[in-house]
Structure 1
Amino acid sequence: MLDRRLAAFRPDLADIALKGQVDADRFVAPEPSMVTLPVVALRPKPDVSLGIDTELLMGEHVRVFDRQDGWAWVQATDDSYVGYLPEEALGQTVPATHVVTVPRTFVYRGADLRFPTRTALSMGSRLTIVGEAETRGTRYLLLSDGGALVSRHLRPVSDPPAPDYVAVAALFLETPYLWGGKSGFGIDCSGLVQLAMRLAGLEAPRDSDMQAAGLGVPIERCDLRRGDLVFWKGHVAIMEDETTMIHANGHTMTVARETLEAAIERIGWLYGTPTGYRRPVAET
């Protein structure tokens, strides 16, 4: 059985790459597109009353299979997640030059922090920078529409990624918990793992069950160290060291730091004990 989260198929329409694997009335080749809004929800059906599966950030590329009634049925290029988003969130693909490296940053209406802001962007957003300017000693990077961002909040995509994904995850402490969230405005447990790893040049599946099934290698609890992952049914946490973990959770409704022992005791009555431990980064 193909996972509907990772394969684009419906009874009436499917990805041409799945021809021979699924039954559908039509098979189509996807069209490339790109997210042009700061954050957009990806839903299992074209219905705003439904909860979200995940989120896509500005500059993320997608494959578009269908457009109907203001909705687009897409598959994210980075992690292959499939779902529906508002068609207005998409635009023409352009190559990114920079990525946001802080949890949140503003786009100003010009190169001056005293100017009004146009919007805010999350870590992981990808932008095309066309110039730079300096005002009162602060350097700004400029967008083609005149928007400006503080340069120290971005890095060129050609630069080396962050060396430690756990340090990236720690930047999100106190960020609100959001089911399906994957941004500096709200994030869930597996979204925190995926986004932090992405900024460190590492790839991770989107959902915790996917991460538990195949991210890195399984280990024993006694071997836990910084960067390892602890899984419960429907939940994942990042070990900051041998005893302390960071996780986005519905208890504090934030990204929080907690000891593993305390979490096992607190979570156990409702979800049981951890289901596994994994080391996502290969030994060097």
Structure 2
Amino acid sequence: MKNLKILFIASIFITSTISCKFVINQPVVDLLVNIPTEVDANLSEKTFGHLPQNVRNFLATLPPENRNPNIDSQLLFGEEVSILEEVGPEGDFVKVEAIGQGFENKKVIGYINKTQIFSIPNAIVCNQKAKIYSLEEPAKEIMQLSLGTKLTIIRKLDVSWYQIILPDGSYAKINSNDINSYEYLSGLTEKELRTNIINCAKNFLRYSYCWGGCSCNKVDCSGLTRLAYLCSNLTLPRNAIDQYLACKKLENGSQLKPADLIFYARADKPKRVFHVMMYLGENALIECGCPFGVRILTGEAKFGKTIETINGEEILNNEICKNLVIYFGTFINK
């Protein structure tokens, strides 16, 4: 029963206004010309009879194990398919188009079992914590998800709720205020994107610093920046040094835009970046540091001078900032 339930989403997908993609979840899957049934022992012969004469002549030259006329093609693990309709005696098969196998108007279409595909996430939790509820028992809470959790929306139930599919194939609902679709996020302007990242980071204000934290429950410096970007569907490396290595480097603080990042390392080990902060604009930053946790500071309070006047790779050594080399970077290329 569970296997039948796993991808009943096929029929839902057809009427959904949400863009939902599916991929093959097994190493190799046969794309069938007809749906196999236990009661139809002559399926192969029927399929063979519908083929053009030249194809039948060619297949007749092959050994029996190499000439199944009901196999039109094969699909590989991770290969994308588009679901056209739900079919079969018990609705356990789907008619699909093999994306990337056709050419121009010549589409490669066939049948596969629902259990041979799974859905790709198309949305992300945008609030600090989001509860998901049972469809059968609307008041029953299933679990609480962290900001940054990726989900698959199947359809919009009403103004306030989305239906989602969980990894075990079961369904749940989530409040529409707790989730942003990838489609919505991809349509943001650069200014809106940067604002969204900053607002996400500000949700963590007054959180304590916790080494290794990267969830709605606790964060460290790079966990804060990673989650803030993740809620806009931008994936950063986990650690501060890797975020520095992966970003586009900026020459000085005056080039920073809101949501860009500031890094530092000790002057005697300038390549060993160990802290990351987020620029908020107008000489302000947000960081998660020890022992103060997540807080907003001015450049003077953190570096002893305004952020915009600091050069990249400049070594600061004053009462506030002791022998630290400063770096700037961005992950936003809009």
Relative to the length of structure 2, the TM-score reads: 0.48
Distance 2:323 2:255 in 1: 17
Amino acid at match of 1:228: D
Matches within 5 A, 1:4-43: none
Distance 2:329 2:284 in 1: 15
Q: Secondary structure at the match of 2:145?
A: strand
Pick one of 281, 298, 308 that aligns with 1:259: 298
Whether the aligned pair in 2 keeps the contact of 1:124 and 1:199 (CA below 8 Å) is: yes
Q: Does 1:187 align with 2:211?
A: no
Pick one of 209, 213, 225 that aligns with 1:177: 209
Amino acid at match of 1:154: I
Whether the aligned pair in 1 keeps the contact of 2:163 and 2:171 (CA below 8 Å) is: no
Distance 2:170 2:214 in 1: 26
Whether the aligned pair in 2 keeps the contact of 1:141 and 1:151 (CA below 8 Å) is: no
Distance 2:257 2:154 in 1: 42
Number of the residue aligned with 1:275: 325
Q: Does 1:248 align with 2:288?
A: yes
Distance 2:215 2:171 in 1: 24
Whether the aligned pair in 1 keeps the contact of 2:302 and 2:320 (CA below 8 Å) is: no
Distance 1:176 1:112 in 2: 36
Residue 247 of structure 1: CA displacement? 1.1
Q: Does 1:138 align with 2:138?
A: no
Q: Does 1:211 align with 2:243?
A: yes
Distance 1:123 1:268 in 2: 38
Number of the residue aligned with 2:130: 105
Distance 2:318 2:222 in 1: 19
Number of the residue aligned with 2:141: 117
Residue 129 of structure 1: CA displacement? 3.0
Number of the residue aligned with 1:153: 178
Whether the aligned pair in 1 keeps the contact of 2:285 and 2:296 (CA below 8 Å) is: yes
Q: Secondary structure at the match of 2:185?
A: coil
Distance 2:295 2:137 in 1: 33
Q: Percent identity?
A: 22
Distance 1:105 1:178 in 2: 21
Higher gyration radius (CA): 2
Whether the aligned pair in 1 keeps the contact of 2:303 and 2:321 (CA below 8 Å) is: no
Taking only aligned residues, the RMSD between alpha carbons, in angstroms, comes to 3.4
Structure 1: gaps spanning 5 or more residues = 1-30, 33-91
Distance 2:257 2:283 in 1: 8
Whether the aligned pair in 1 keeps the contact of 2:124 and 2:181 (CA below 8 Å) is: yes
Q: Secondary structure at the match of 1:275?
A: strand
Describe the shift of the 1:258–1:131 C-alpha distance in structure 2 as closer, same or farther (beyond 3 A). same
Number of the residue aligned with 2:53: none
Whether the aligned pair in 1 keeps the contact of 2:244 and 2:329 (CA below 8 Å) is: no
Moved over 6 A (4+): 267-271
Residue 269 of structure 1: CA displacement? 7.7
Map Cα deviations across residues 4-59 of structure 1 (whole Å, 9 max, x no partner): xxxxxxxxxxxxxxxxxxxxxxxxxxx99xxxxxxxxxxxxxxxxxxxxxxxxxxx
Relative to the length of structure 1, the TM-score reads: 0.55
Distance 1:208 1:171 in 2: 20
Map Cα deviations across residues 44-83 of structure 1 (whole Å, 9 max, x no partner): xxxxxxxxxxxxxxxxxxxxxxxxxxxxxxxxxxxxxxxx
Amino acid at match of 1:179: W
Number of the residue aligned with 2:121: 96
Residue 200 of structure 1: CA displacement? 3.2
Describe the shift of the 1:275–1:150 C-alpha distance in structure 2 as closer, same or farther (beyond 3 A). same
Distance 2:170 2:329 in 1: 43
Whether the aligned pair in 2 keeps the contact of 1:264 and 1:273 (CA below 8 Å) is: no
How many residues are treated as equivalent by the alignment? Answer: 190
Whether the aligned pair in 1 keeps the contact of 2:130 and 2:146 (CA below 8 Å) is: yes
Whether the aligned pair in 1 keeps the contact of 2:123 and 2:151 (CA below 8 Å) is: yes
Residue 116 of structure 1: CA displacement? 3.8
Q: Secondary structure at the match of 2:296?
A: strand
Describe the shift of the 1:111–1:238 C-alpha distance in structure 2 as closer, same or farther (beyond 3 A). farther
Q: Secondary structure at the match of 2:229?
A: helix
Residue 124 of structure 1: CA displacement? 1.7
Whether the aligned pair in 2 keeps the contact of 1:194 and 1:204 (CA below 8 Å) is: yes
